[in-house]
Amino acid sequence: MENVFGVDVAKAWIDVVGPGGHARVGNDDLAAFAQQVARTSGRVAFEASGGYERPLRVALAKAGVPAIRLNPRRARAFATSLGRLAKTDRVDAGVIREMALRLDLPECAPETEELSHLKALQLRRRQLVEDAKREKIRLAQTFDEHMRASFGRVLRLLRSEIDRIESAIARCIAASEDLRHRAALLRTAPGVGPVTATALLAGMPELGTLTPGQVAALAGLAPMARESGLRVGKRRIGGGRKSLRDALYMAGLSAARNDPSLRAFSDRLKAKGKAPKQAVIAVTRKLLVILNAMIRENRPYQPA
């Protein structure tokens, strides 16, 4: 049997189910675990766990062990399909291993230090922007002078911190030849500013290696059919990487207004009866496919 290890990640340890059974490994012993897997020429599958999986992923990369990162919802659906309704760390690790054995799952490439740092900065910027949005809503909902003064102080602090993070992002991209080159290519496309370019660099490092269908699905921009018998439901987008999709939507909205070819594409869709928002989503998907081709072919944007 193939040497596949299923791992359930916790904050202080991991539960491992492999060919030899179950074991619990502390975070201090991840390097030794990765070396053990490397000696068996094995692979390790684990769920994305909000960042707790990062020490494991780093240890596997240093040991040269292939890693498979799973969507937790997909892993839970797989467990349900097997009739395994119980949920413990050991059960989850076993399900993850079985999923990796039965399905042809893609490996996740190890991250460079620059990309890892950029991801952390981009995540922090998104958190601060969301906090600022909430404070602005609270400010609009109160008329008490003391509360409004408090909101103003917090908003100024958040804006200052966002500026610092954006400066750090710019320095991080400028320090890496690969990131700097890819960002420059992306910025030639309509609607793609520094925020969208950073979102693409950090949120979709696979850009340029995917097919049009794969890149649309990964961003959650591929319409999903809902049909049964004579019923034909509306197709809707969903899944994928939502934070990336949000950034791309704003780029698609700008491109649909300012780029002649993409604006014509949007107008044709609306003439066929598509709602304005549906047209923008279609433009966003088309723009992402174009960006994927630009990175793959190492060329700037070329208007149709």
Q: What local confidence, expressed as pLDDT, does residue 228 receive?
A: 80
> Would you state the pLDDT for residue 229?
82
Question: HSE-up of 174 (CA within 13 Å, CB side)?
Answer: 7
Instruction: Please work out, in degrees rounded to the nearest 5, the angle formed at the alpha carbon of residue 297 by the alpha carbons of 291 and 299.
Output: 70
pLDDT of residue 155: 97
pLDDT along the chain (304 residues), means of 10: 88 94 95 95 93 92 94 92 91 95 88 90 96 97 95 97 97 95 96 95 92 91 79 77 91 94 95 92 95 96 85
* Rounded Cα gap, residues 254 and 181, in angstroms: 23
Residue 67, φ and ψ in degrees, nearest 5: -120, 140
Contact 69, 53 (CB under 8 A): yes
Q: What would the pLDDT profile of 12-54 be if each residue is shown by its tens digit?
A: 999 999 998 999 999 999 999 999 999 999 999 999 888 899 9
Residues 187/193, Cβ–Cβ less than 8 Å: yes
Q: How many beta carbons lie within 10 A of that of residue 146, not counting itself?
A: 8
Distance CA 66, CA 24 (A): 20
Contact 111, 205 (CB under 8 A): yes
pLDDT the model gives residue 111? 83
Taking the model in full, what pTM does it have?
A: 0.85
Q: Please name the residue that has the structure tokens 């939507």.
A: 249
